[in-house]
Amino acid sequence: MKPNSKSNKKIMKNYNWEYFKAQINQKLSEPETKKIYSQRKIDVEPVFGFMKAILGFTRMSVRGINKVKRELGFVLMALNIRKIAARRAVYYQIHFKKADFYQIINRNQLFTLPKNLMSQAPS
């Protein structure tokens, strides 16, 4: 047989895979499932993208459940502080004149957080 002949070519189809693919496509075509799946792109995935791209956090550096929870807590806290700083920056840009806005940044008032944000919850 020649390597380039048409008789040597075979196309294999995995019918199990095709069945599950069709099932998922049918599920995703329903309006309710479409709505839920579209929320995933808004709610969940950007957070992990920020963790990887901006913070450079791609893997844990510790072992053990408690240590991993603690480390992940620090990462999520950093993301939350970033969100708060961004919201405050937008607020100050809208509500203050340009000169006042730069004075606020220079005095580091933009990044100060309310005391209750960093306080521990009562046990």
Instruction: Tell me, yes or no, whether 4 lies in a domain.
Output: no
pTM for the whole structure: 0.46
Instruction: Tell me, yes or no, whether 30 lies in a domain.
Output: no
> Tokens 């070519």 belong to which residue?
9
> Tokens 């806290």 belong to which residue?
77
Instruction: Tell me, yes or no, whether 97 lies in a domain.
Output: yes
Which are the contacts of 58, defined by CB distance < 8 A and separation ≥ 6?
Answer: 52
Instruction: Tell me, yes or no, whether 103 lies in a domain.
Output: yes
**Other residues' Cβ atoms within 10 Å of the Cβ of residue 52:** 12
pLDDT tens digits for range 51-108: 888 888 888 889 999 999 999 899 889 888 888 988 888 887 777 766 665 666 555 5
Q: Work out how many domains the chain is built from and give that number.
A: 1
Instruction: Tell me, yes or no, whether 115 lies in a domain.
Output: yes
Q: Is the alpha carbon torsion for 28, 30, 36, 42 positive or negative?
A: positive
- Give the 3-state secondary structure of residue 35: helix
The DSSP code for 59 is S
Instruction: Tell me, yes or no, whether 21 lies in a domain.
Output: no
pLDDT tens digits for range 8-43: 777 888 999 999 999 999 998 999 988 888 877 666
Instruction: Tell me, yes or no, whether 120 lies in a domain.
Output: yes
Domain limits at 105? Answer: 62-123
Q: At 19, list the tokens.
A: 């069945």
Instruction: Tell me, yes or no, whether 53 lies in a domain.
Output: no
Taking the chain, what is the end-to-end CA distance rounded to the nearest angstrom?
79
